[in-house]
Amino acid sequence: MEEALANQLQSSLLPLLQGQMNTLFQALDPAGLRNQPRPKLSLVLQTQAELDDSLDQITYLTATLCPDLATQPHRTDDHGLKRFKSCRLYRLKANVELVLPWRMCEIFEAADKLIQKMELSSAPSIPGSPEIESLDKSLHVAVLGALDTIKTMANCLQASELVIAQDLWKSSRLAIENQLQSIIENLNLSMINRLNLEQALKEKFLGQSVIQLAKLTLPIFKLSKIFFSKVSKRGLAQERLPIHTEISSQQVDILAVSADLVAEDLQQLKILLESANQRTGEATSAKFIKIAKSLQTGFETPLFLILMYFIPLIPDTDGLHRQKYYQNCFVHKHSDTKSVLFQFERRSWNCMESELGPLTFTCTWQHLCSFPVATNGKLID
């Protein structure tokens, strides 16, 4: 029964919903509404009724497929449930009951504003009106959001467990990128804003000890960025992994929140650097060392799960030896991360005591200091 319901959702209802979304968006094109208001509005009403019917069916099937999961969303004993593990069903249910209705409200609110603004029943609207273009763009964004939600729902049933886990990483990866960029800018005195010199000088790292400590953090941020990039959809997650493994839902959830935990630790590290720069007394060597140890754990747990459950299942075809490539890659990253964090712990005490000696930073990735950094908020994989 579960397989039949999942197949109906995956192969019939979700593609149907996707097609209806696209039909609605095309029917609401301002040029078409202006030239053929009556047939276009009739198509909108017809599509809305079809959408309501599809949503009712999806809601019913999901409720049947996913019983109340509130008491067991992170099961440790569902290794053998294949694509019906609680981590998958919980995400599917949440998207159907919470995210998708919110997305649909966004679409219909945007559509209503667009139709009202075009005043189709009175004087024709001005072609190319900036306000109408803005409303059309808002509608487009709302539809794209709904289509992304539909894709997420489909992934709950058909994507690998690694794809499901790293689906929540996007905001954390961007946060790590922005944190790294901020530290680089605060180390660069040539980027001082002369129009607000006093504020700029407060933000820049000026003391020699703080500058040395901030430089020590750069490889930590860069290794963090590279690690999650290497696991993401442009890395390991794009490999032809099986849909299900022997990993439990609890372990999938641990992997899913790993990027958030690392990003939070890095944010605290950045805040401590700023406190040390402002000499507020909040930054101590003990706090820096505590964050370093937390980061060490933050990387070891997801790395263990990746090496245990995913890399051994990568199919080795055409002599590419992908398993060996990823295994060596992640083992080397782990070794580099341990080395970087160990040296950071060792040197942070001296930095805070202003007793720095020559900076002797040994890392097998010497090129990290020249790793490209995005300046427009986009991730560089």
**Separation of alpha carbons 312 and 242, rounded Å:** 11
Going by C-beta distance under 8 Å and a sequence separation of 6 or more, which residues neighbour residue 132?
30, 114, 117, 118, 125, 126
Domain definitions of the chain by residue range? 2-158, 170-370
Is 236 within 8 Å of 230 (Cβ atoms)? yes
Output the pTM of the full model. Answer: 0.81
User: CA-based Rg of the chain, rounded to a whole angstrom?
Assistant: 26
Helical segments of the chain, H only:
2-8, 14-27, 30-35, 37-65, 86-94, 100-118, 130-158, 161-166, 170-187, 197-203, 208-231, 249-278, 285-305, 322-352
Residues of the chain with pLDDT under 70: 68-73, 121-128, 189-203, 318-320, 350-381
2-158: CATH topology: Four Helix Bundle (Hemerythrin (Met), subunit A) (1.20.120)
As assigned by CATH, the class of the 170-370 domain is mainly alpha
> Contact at 8 Å (CB) between 276 and 210?
yes
pLDDT attached to residue 211 = 86
- At 362 the pLDDT is 40
Encoded amino acid at 56, one letter = D
pLDDT score recorded for residue 357: 39
| Predicted pLDDT at 278 | 80
- pLDDT at residue 57, rounded to an integer: 96
Rounded Cα distance, 289 and 293, in Å: 6
Fold match flag (2-158 vs 170-370)? no
The reported pLDDT for the residue numbered 155 is 94
Place of tokens 């794809």: 163
